[in-house]
Amino acid sequence: MTVVKFSRVVVTGGAGFIGSNYVRYALKHHPEWEIVVLDKLTYAGNLENLANVLERITFVHGDIANPDDVARALDGADAVVNFAAESHVDRSLMDPRPFIRTNVEGTLVLLEGARRFGVKRFLHVSTDEVYGDTSGSDRLSKETDRFAPRSPYSASKAAAEHLVTSYWVSYGLDVVVTRGSNTYGPYQYPEKIIPLFITNVMEGKPVPVYGRGTAVRDYMYVEDHCSGIDMVLHHGKGGEAYNLGARMEVPGIEVAQRILRLMGQSEDLIQFVPDRPGHDYRYAVDPSKAEALGWKRTWTWEEGLAKTVEWYKENEGWWRRVKEKMHFRQYEAAWYASR
């Protein structure tokens, strides 16, 4: 098996949730790397996410859609791992424009920068949502399935993937893509279901569940996602996409119930709210291709969720500062007022 080696790696969106977890993973497993983080520090990007490793990395405050910022980060780099993205479906329903700018235009600027600076490998972090809704079936999405995105967010990620693949075909840029399932763990912005439920319980607020809570997601602990990305970065075949999933399908109502049990609270806190427009009721991927490279999910749903609940309990200052910011409060008020 071919192993691609790197020395200077640029992690875009490295101050976000999965990106910051990957930075810590890389520092642990690849201490010889010089890591450059490029992040715009939008609402979900937070330097606190990197507070304990800032002295070990180079941080560039910039926008992946700005060629000058990209040039500052990519000069001398031999690999790019692109986490930078607007990533929340609900926000994309309220205003799709930032999703097109960052997820599509930003990816294009990065690809051009990778060509210009002779980057050896470009890994693009995508999502299982590009496959669309698979409800009514127990079939697992495969990398060869057609795309059927159903929200502005997933459509922007699908468009970005097409750009990435085109640079492999048109220019010979060595690219690989990962399509991850729903990820959770430390440092996740509390608009997403698991940290929202945990922090709401700690604040004595209701736990809002869409519809009757029957929408299913394949929940993967963030450390497993990071190890999968790293496996594909080093061992993935150029021009190929790889699903990363935990093979653990969980409905939303079970997420709420299990969190409440872990936190010793009654299910009376569950509040059923009107469903999201165009809600996809099932995503589930077949990760066999990544597993064939040697990747293996190690965290169970029960263990990962318990670990996550403990992290939010132990880091109350972090999430309270996030939820107190105007950007979170404005979104929360606008979205739930419209439900």
Active site residues: 128-129, 153
Tell me the CB-side half-sphere exposure of residue 180, using CA atoms within 13 A. 25
CA-CA distance, 299 to 302, in Å (whole number)? 8
Angle, nearest 10°, between helix axes 152-171 and 107-116? 20
CA-CA distance, 323 to 286, in Å (whole number)? 35
Find out whether 207 and 260 touch, Cβ atoms under 8 Å.
yes
